Structures are given as structure tokens and as C-alpha cells.
Amino acid sequence: MICTTCYDSPLGKLTLAGKNNKLIGLWIEGQKHFFGNFKDKTKKNDDLTIFRKTEKWLDSYFNGENPSIENLDLNPRGTDFRLKVWKILEGIAYGEVVTYGDIAKKISYDMSSQAVGGAVGHNPISIIVPCHRVVGFDGKLTGYAGGLENKVKLLELEGVKIRDLKVIF
């Protein structure tokens, strides 16, 4: 059974999902791919330890701090390829951005940026697994399942300079 709770953030309501006291999802209200392809039954439960840890992490993050994810038990569900991409996302530093092509090159010399984009777009643990830190080859802010407006807010919170939906390097 998947347990869920809600967190009120500056972006609006976030839904957290956990199973076996591990975080398996975090979505911004209205986000594409909301709840992914989970088929499990769900029940609301605000009292999981992982939810308290995640809420503390989110409080710090939205206060402009750079909290570590080391103490969060993350367990996203996906294909081996997606899991590999999401692990790379975890390594993108706060306030930094990388391109889809950068991630593709880390996986394989001939990997497609579009394939990486598909995996990034289906990241089930938004914000904590920082898919918002991935941009187009020219620094342009491209699709974000949580909405480009929220991508801008998250990057600006981290000190990234943006003009006309493009990162200023």
C-alpha cells in the first residue's frame, strides 16, 4: 500500500507518496505524470517517518538552504535507464544547471538527448531529485512536468539567473 500526504509549499500543494517508509514520489499539484503509473492502493497517512524527514528537507529548501538528500530514503520506480538518469540528477549541485546532452554523454557517447529528456520528464520525485536543473543545449528552459513557471521559481530560489526563459551563464 502506498501512503500519501500533502505539503503546502510556495509552489502550491505538493503530494508526497511513500511505501515501506521510503519516498517514492513527490509531485507538484497539476504536474504532468502525476502519480506516474502506480497501480497500488493508496491511503492518506501523515505520520510516516519519511514524510517528516521530507517535510523538514522541503522547509529548509524553500528557506533558501541547500539540504542534503543523504538522510532521505528515496526509492523511485522506473526502468533501469530512468533510474540511471535520475541518479545522475541527484548529483547536480544546488544552483547549477546541466544540459540534456551533458547527461546523455555521461551515460553513453551516442546516447540521445531526447531519450534523456523522456526520463527526466518522468522523474517521480520532483524538487528533491532536481530535474528542474536540466536545461536545453543553449541554456533555454525547456519542458518541466511541474510547469515552466515553477522551474523558474526553483532555479531562481537557488540563485540561477534567468532572462526570457533562458539561463544567463
Catalytic residues: 131
Are 150 and 87 in contact by the 8 Å Cβ rule? The answer is no
Q: What is the DSSP code string of 48-91?
A: -HHHHHHHHHHHHHHTT----STTS-B-----HHHHHHHHHHHT
Residue given cell 515553477 in the structure block: 150
